[in-house]
C-alpha cells in the first residue's frame, strides 16, 4: 500500500530548474533511500514534500489524499515530519524543554519517555541543547521529529559527521522506529549506510530521477554506477 506518491514534481528557482518531473512511490512501512550527487535536488525534493517550499509543477498524494504538497503545518498534521541536514534543535533550551515544545503540535501524546530511553537522552535532559556533542544533538533532532508520531519521517543526511559506531547506532534506531510503523524517506551520502537500511532506493541526478528500484538493482544499474556510485560499487 502506497503512503506517498510524487506525480511529476518539480520546481524552478527563476531560470534554474532544480527538480524536474520526479515521480516515485514510497510504500507504507518502507525505508526509502534517496541518493544523488551534491546539487542533485535531494534536499529540494524533501523541502517540497515537507511543505517548506512550494513546487512549480506536479503534485503529491499522501495516504490516499491527493492535492499535496501542503504547507508545512498542514503536512505535519497529516503526519509528514522532517529533520534537517544541519541539525536543528532549540539550542538555548534544555533537552527536556526541547522535547516538551516539540510535543505541543502532536495530535496525540508524544512518546517522550520512549524517545528519551531509545536515544539515551536521560543523562543530558537538563543540559542546554547547545552544549550537547554532535552525535547527541543529531539524535535529539530526530527525537524531536519523532515526538510528533509521524507516519512519514523525512531524514535529511542524518549520518553526516558521525563516526562509524555512531552511524551503526543510528541505523539501529532508524530500523527500530521503522519497525514501529514509521515510514522513512532517507537522504544520505553514505551509500553503505543507505543501502543497508533501505528497502527501495531512488537516484536523482541534476534534478531528474535517474533510477528507482531495490538496493541490489541500484548497485547493478550502469547509469547509476556511471553517475554516482563508480565502478567499485559493482563489487560493494
Partner 1 sequence: MARIPHIALISAVAFAAAVAVATQMNDYLLYVVILWAIFASLAVSFDVLLGYTGYLSLAHGALFGLGAYTGAIMTTRAGAGFWLALPVAGLVTAGVAMVVALIAFRTRGLYFAVLTLGIGLIGHQMFLVASGLTGGVLGFAGIPGPGVPSWLPIDQNLWNTCLALALLLVTFLAAQVFVRSRLGAACIAVREDMTLAQALGIGISRARLSAFIFSGFFTGLAGALFAAINNFVAPESFTVLGTGFQLVALVVVGGMGTLWGPILGAALLTALPEALRMASGYSMLAYGVLLLVFILFAPKGFAGLIQRGAAVLRRPATRKLSPTKEGVR
Nearest-approach distance from CB 211 to partner 1, in angstroms: 29
For residues 35 and 129, which CB has a smaller minimum distance to partner 1 in the complex?
129
- The residues binding partner 1 (CB under 8 A) are 50, 52, 72-73, 75-77, 81-84, 88-94, 97, 100-102, 104-105, 126-128, 131, 144-145, 147-148
Neighbours of 109 (CB within 10 A): 9
3-state secondary structure 174-187: HHHHHHCCCEEEEE
Nearest-approach distance from CB 127 to partner 1, in angstroms: 5
For residues 77 and 180, which CB has a smaller minimum distance to partner 1 in the complex?
77
Nearest-approach distance from CB 88 to partner 1, in angstroms: 4
| 3-state DSSP assignment of residue 224 | helix
Nearest-approach distance from CB 142 to partner 1, in angstroms: 12
Q: What is the dihedral of CA 131, 83, 125, 197, to 10 degrees?
A: -110
Nearest-approach distance from CB 28 to partner 1, in angstroms: 21
| 3-state DSSP assignment of residue 193 | helix
For residues 125 and 236, which CB has a smaller minimum distance to partner 1 in the complex?
125
Produce one character per residue of 195-224: b if its CB has 16 or more CB atoms within 10 Å, e if not: bebbbbbbbbbebbbbbbeebeebbebeeb
For residues 128 and 161, which CB has a smaller minimum distance to partner 1 in the complex?
128
For residues 154 and 204, which CB has a smaller minimum distance to partner 1 in the complex?
154
Amino acid at each position: 500500500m502506497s503512503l506517498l506518491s510524487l506525480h511529476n514534481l518539480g520546481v524552478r528557482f527563476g531560470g534554474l530548474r532544480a527538480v524536474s518531473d520526479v515521480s516515485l512511490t514510497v510504500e507504507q512501512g518502507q525505508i526509502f533511500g534517496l541518493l544523488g550527487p551534491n546539487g542533485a535536488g535531494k534536499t529540494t525534493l524533501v523541502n517540497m514534500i515537507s511543505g517548506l517550499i512550494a513546487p512549480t509543477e506536479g503534485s503529491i498524494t499522501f495516504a490516499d489524499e491527493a492535492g499535496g504538497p501542503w504547507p508545512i503545518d498542514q503536512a505535519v498534521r497529516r503526519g509528514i515530519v522532517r529533520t534537517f541536514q544541519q541539525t536543528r534543535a532549540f539550542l538555548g533550551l534544555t533537552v527536556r524543554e526541547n522535547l516538551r515544545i516539540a510535543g505541543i503540535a502532536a495530535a496525540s501524546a508524544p512518546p517522550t519517555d520512549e524517545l528519551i530511553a531509545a536515544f539515551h537522552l536521560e543523562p543530558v535532559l537538563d543540559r542546554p541543547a547547545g552544549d550537547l556533542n554532535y552525535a547527541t544533538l543529531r539524535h535529539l533532532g530526530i527525537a524531536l521529529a519523532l515526538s510528533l508520531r509521524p507516519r512519514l519521517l523525512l531524514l535529511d543526511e542524518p549520518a553526516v559527521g558521525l563516526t562509524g559506531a555512531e552511524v551503526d547506532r543510528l541505523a539501529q534506531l532508524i530500523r527500530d522506529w521503522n519497525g514501529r510503523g514509521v515510514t522513512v524517506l532517507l537522504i544520505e551520502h553514505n551509500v553503505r549506510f543507505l543501502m543497508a537500511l533501505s528497502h527501495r532506493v531512488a537516484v536523482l541526478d541534476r534534478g531528474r530521477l535517474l533510477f528507482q528500484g531495490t538496493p541490489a538493482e541500484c548497485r547493478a544499474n550502469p547509469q547509476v554506477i556511471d553517475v554516482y556510485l563508480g565502478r567499485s560499487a559493482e563489487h560493494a
